[in-house]
Amino acid sequence: MRGTRMVWVCALIAVACQSGRGTKASVDPRMAQPKVELQLNFDRTQPESMPSGFTALAGAWSVVEDPTAPSKSRAFASTAPDAKLPCNLALLDDVRVAEVELTVKLRAVSGEEEQGGGLVWRAKDAKNFYLARWNPREKNLRLFEVIDGEKRQLATDSVRVEPGWHELRITAKGEQMRVYLDGRAYLQAKDASFLEPGKVGLWTRADARTYFDDLEIKSRAK
């Protein structure tokens, strides 16, 4: 995948490597679910282009130059946020996961109505998914389920941080979900609306202009 590093680590190989005393590991191949590890830093994609593997389902997205980006010197951005749209959404095309840990660095650049953005997972389409979003203008972090385009809040907490880049991370295992900002656990919730594997991606709302970098995905693939 252009502009990315994709590493597939097979659980079967891991078991075999751990049997280092000459014994042979017996693993049912139907039970060996490979672990997906995907890291994206967008540095090999030309500015004003869409990174390979992503599709913008709402709003305008592209890679931009940003010398402050954690992986210098480019980031992925909602470049033309539209206050008339319910959201700006970009999803990865070929990654479908359920048990997942997602991490991304993000920087709120501007926005009069909205600021910040977040992570999407278990997305069925552009109107059905889970969302964790950080809004520095409102000084909060929130977890939502989005069903038929309507958001329902699952958890919220106040967050006050300095301007600049911050790390947003979520973990989802079955019905359990947790949300972290800069390594601190803020939110947790239990919900069963979306349990099947779905797509992952990035989200902003209304006129929020936000830069993203260093997207990481760790999951049991299905």
DSSP, residue by residue, 119-146: EEEEEEETTEEEEEEEETTTTEEEEEEE
Cα-Cα-Cα-Cα dihedral of 205, 208, 211, 214, to 10°? Answer: -30
Confidence check: pLDDT of 20 > 80? no
Q: Would you say residue 66 lies in a domain?
A: yes
Q: Would you say residue 196 lies in a domain?
A: yes
The residues, ordered by sequence, that sit 6+ positions from 162 with a Cβ below 8 Å of its Cβ are none
Q: Would you say residue 54 lies in a domain?
A: yes
Mean pLDDT along residues 195-212: 95
Percent of the chain clearing pLDDT 90 (strictly above): 75
Q: In Å, how far are 37, 158, 168, 192 from 215, measured between CA atoms?
A: 11, 24, 10, 25
Q: Would you say residue 20 lies in a domain?
A: no
Residue with tokens 């979003």: 133
Q: Would you say residue 9 lies in a domain?
A: no
DSSP 3-state of 18: helix
The residues, ordered by sequence, that sit 6+ positions from 31 with a Cβ below 8 Å of its Cβ are none
Confidence check: pLDDT of 19 > 60? no
pLDDT at position 139 is 97
pLDDT at position 37 is 86
The domain of 164 spans 41-217
∠ CA(113), CA(119), CA(222), 5° rounding?
155
**Residue with the larger pLDDT of the pair 204 and 221:** 204
What does the alpha-carbon distance between residue 76 and residue 121 come to, in Å, rounded to a whole number? 18
- pLDDT category at 18 given cuts 50, 70, 90 is very low
Instruction: Compute how many other C-beta atoms are within 10 angstroms of the C-beta atom of residue 102.
Output: 24
Q: What is the number of domains present in the chain?
A: 1
CATH number at residue 49: 2.60.120.560
Query: Which one, of 67, 206, 215, lies nearest residue 137 by Cα?
Result: 206
Q: Would you say residue 185 lies in a domain?
A: yes
Confidence check: pLDDT of 29 > 80? no
Q: Would you say residue 176 lies in a domain?
A: yes
What does the alpha-carbon distance between residue 88 and residue 74 come to, in Å, rounded to a whole number? 20
Per DSSP, the residues of 47-89 read TTSPPTTEEEEES-EEEEE-TTSSSTTEEEEE-S--TTSS-EE
How do residues 135-169 score in pLDDT, each as one tens digit? 999 999 999 999 999 999 999 999 999 999 999 99
**Residue with the larger pLDDT of the pair 14 and 75:** 75
**Residue with the larger pLDDT of the pair 217 and 112:** 217
Cβ(132)–Cβ(187) below 8 Å: yes
Q: Which helix (H) or strand (E) holds 13?
A: helix 11-18
pLDDT at position 5 is 40
- pLDDT category at 221 given cuts 50, 70, 90 is low
Mean pLDDT along residues 176-182: 98
The residues, ordered by sequence, that sit 6+ positions from 117 with a Cβ below 8 Å of its Cβ are 78, 106, 108, 133, 134, 202, 203, 204, 205, 208, 210, 212
Q: Would you say residue 18 lies in a domain?
A: no
